[in-house]
Amino acid sequence: MPTLLQLRALVAVADEHGFTSAGYQLGMPQPSVSRAVAALETELGARLVRRGRDDASLTEAGEAAVSHAREALRHIAAMRTDVDRAAGGLTGTLWVASLPSVTASLVTPQLEVFAQHHPAVAIRLLEGSEEEVLNWLDGGAAEAGVVSLPVSGMESAVLGTQDMVAVVPADHRLAGFGVVEYTDLAKEPFVRSTGGCATVFTPVAQSVGVEFDVAFEARSVSAVLEIVRSGLGVSIMPSAGLPDLPDGVVTRPLLPRTVRALGLAVSASASEPARALLRQLGESR
């Protein structure tokens, strides 16, 4: 019989028109999605997906199968909701605040697991800078949020880590370096991200006696990358969560090595769903 994973994989491929993007949606690596769909095709004895170089589309048999898969998943979700309610399970709405650079890689997989265990809880996601996340937690707009660790005054659990890297124009002299030092970056106009990364590398810069010549400030990752691509400056950003680099931009390892520890924090007035997400994260480490 088809498994739940196989049904979810088929629906995700149909919705996202590709295996890689379906993997992002499901919080799974692309090969796992491909294997799940292939196993379903073997189980049903028909080709369901046409695999292109950069996309995927459903065959006629796949169109028929995905309709039934959606209905089956709806029934399973309804069953879990009814059982959860009958057993006194979690209900309500969970507001989670995240940083755009880690939503796909670190937050979405956790929310996927949470939704499977607590289908009666509606999940709403906010994205913003780290300052905004903290403000949302303080003001009650969000009950759980992604923050740099350590954080004071809130319960938290480790979500993951990110190595910070030097971001430089591809034709810049530093692009030829195997490792870029803080002192190298301090000699160039600097593009500082206002999304929260500066709180990670600024203390390191101070510890090695470096002060950056901040020529630009930008909040979004894409804006920082575009300024660097234009040759107007260099920057430091987290390696994980970066989008595909535009032509003309490269990253290099940073010395001293700088690691950003990220965690999920919950507000003092957090609801039971928020605390359940925190417990889930703690149990998964």
3-state secondary structure of 126: strand
3-state secondary structure of 136: helix
Q: What's the first-to-final CA gap in the chain, in angstroms?
A: 33
- List, in order, residues 6 or more apart from 245 with CB less than 8 Å away: 225, 251
Please tell me the predicted confidence (pLDDT) of residue 248: 95
**Percent of the chain at pLDDT exceeding 70:** 95
Answer whether 92-159+262-284 and 160-260 agree in fold: yes
Strands 155-169, 249-255: pairing is antiparallel
CATH 3.40.190.10 is the classification of domain 92-159+262-284: yes
- May I ask the CATH class of domain 160-260? alpha beta
- List, in order, residues 6 or more apart from 129 with CB less than 8 Å away: 99, 194, 195, 196, 219
CATH 1.10.10.10 is the classification of domain 4-86: yes
| pLDDT tens per residue across span 87-127 | 667 888 899 999 887 888 889 999 999 999 898 898 999 88
User: Residues 19-26: what's their mean pLDDT?
Assistant: 81
Task: Specify the residue for token string 């010395």.
Answer: 255
| pLDDT tens per residue across span 175-212 | 999 999 999 999 999 999 887 788 889 999 999 999 99
Q: Which of 18-32, 45-59, 77-91, 116-130 has the lowest mean pLDDT?
A: 77-91
